[in-house]
Amino acid sequence: MNLIVSAIGQGLLWALLGLGLYLTFRILDFCDMTVEGTFPLGAATAVTAITHGVNPFIATLLAVVAGMVAGLVTGLLYTKGKIPSLLAGILTMTAIYSVNLRIMGKSNISLLGQPTLFNGALHNLPQYFDSVTLGLVVIAIVTVLMILFLATDYGQAFIATGDNPTMAKSLGIHTDKMVIVGLMISNGMVGLCGALIAQNNGYADINMGIGTIVIALASIIIGEVAFGELTLNQRLVAVTLGSIIYRIILLAVLQLGFSANDLNLISSVVLAICMMIPQFEKQLNIKKPILKGVRPHE
């Protein structure tokens, strides 16, 4: 039972990563590799701040700001420097590695004996329920804010930029600004995820960002494959559920005897299978039921 609760808690915390990438990958149609650098940047910023006596809440906010700065750099490289999106993200990700070393001063920092968001008011909860509780609160707030944002005129302009940049420009939308704002919001969420995961794990490591984009994509793809045709708001919830399902799948695989060293391999295989499922369904002519009142392309 404890393992299932732990998997759910991890799924809720990691869902922030999926939601952050969803903004760029699905809505803006921007392949952002920055997340592999932003995630450890958020962890490094929060952990270093905490070890220097900063309140964990303030340290977490600093991690969000650091992530947003990273997103801003990628956005400027893409919009002003005219560097392709994939390369712009890789350049920022590579630079962040050195920045993280500068922030931490060494390859890893432990939070042993330090205050965190998990050993404060939540320390009296049963084992692993602290991550579930905090994860639920944070993911609920972030999801509601995303839904409210995307429902505004600014949010609709943001969506239009991803759907058809040329048409968006003809409507007077500053698409470059939309891309920059989108990258900043996305990477701010990824930085938040890194800060929470680091506090939950009790340390920050320079290499903890390796493979994070696969984890984020797995949350998105599993959510889409598992729940079929959904509205935009429902898809945001599906990403969180996809993250939880992904963690439970990993737990099940590890229980079969696989080593924790195989996690990146397992993650890649799970993601590849999930991405191929729609093709299998098409070949086998399997039709998924469409939710009542939801159009296929809504």
The domain locations on the chain are: 2-210
For the stretch 125-155, pLDDT in tens is 777 788 899 999 999 999 999 999 999 999 9
* Two structure tokens written together for 240: 């969180």
Tell me the pLDDT tens digit for each residue of 188-218: 999 999 999 999 999 999 999 888 888 898 8
Backbone angles phi, psi at 125, to 5 degrees: -75, 155
Confidence of residue 293 (pLDDT cuts 50, 70, 90): very low
CA distances from 199 to 47, 66, 134, 185 (A): 7, 16, 12, 21
Contacts of 151 (CB under 8 A, 6+ apart): none
